[in-house]
Amino acid sequence: FLIHHFGYVEDTTVRRSQKENLYYSLALKKVIGSPESYEAVLGAGIAELDHAKHAKAALPYFEQAIGLSPFSAGAWVYHSICLTRLGRYDEALTDIHRAISLDPTNALANSTLGDVYLQTGNHQNARLAYEHD
């Protein structure tokens, strides 16, 4: 049995923004209360990256998450996304290849690989990565 929650599908723009701000503050509070929790640290990084649009502020959270769970592809993927947004493409490629080696079927990892290649002008490899996705 599966229930999928669409969150704020029918909310107004103002209400959606209020919820996003609440979720952002909750993610940051959670990591303060559980600094050794991989999920809390990863969540705080995602909140900084996706909600606040602070790639530089998100990066240390993903580095901490990698330290807590080095064999989890998720932290490597998000670390690579941060590095891409910061223009650090060589490092981003290294990280995303690490993520894919840990979880070759991770759709976000393969999509991110395509994004990094696209940002560096490598359209052929970008297309291949997106097709793998």
Asked if the model's pLDDT at residue 95 lies above 80, the reply is: yes
Give the Å distances, CA to CA, from 89 to 35, 51, 72, 85: 29, 22, 21, 9
CB neighbours of residue 85 within 10 Å:
18
Most confident of 13-22, 23-32, 33-42: 33-42
Asked if the model's pLDDT at residue 132 lies above 80, the reply is: yes
What are the structural domains of the chain? 13-132 (1.25.40.10)
Q: Check residues 19 and 129 and name the one with the higher pLDDT.
A: 129
Mean pLDDT along residues 104-132: 95
Encode pLDDT of 33-62 as tens digits: 999 999 999 999 999 998 879 999 999 999
What pLDDT score does 133 carry?
59
Task: Report DSSP state, residue 81.
Answer: H
E-strand stretches of 13-108: none
Encode pLDDT of 3-16 as tens digits: 555 555 667 888 88
C-alpha span between 16 and 46 (Å, rounded): 17
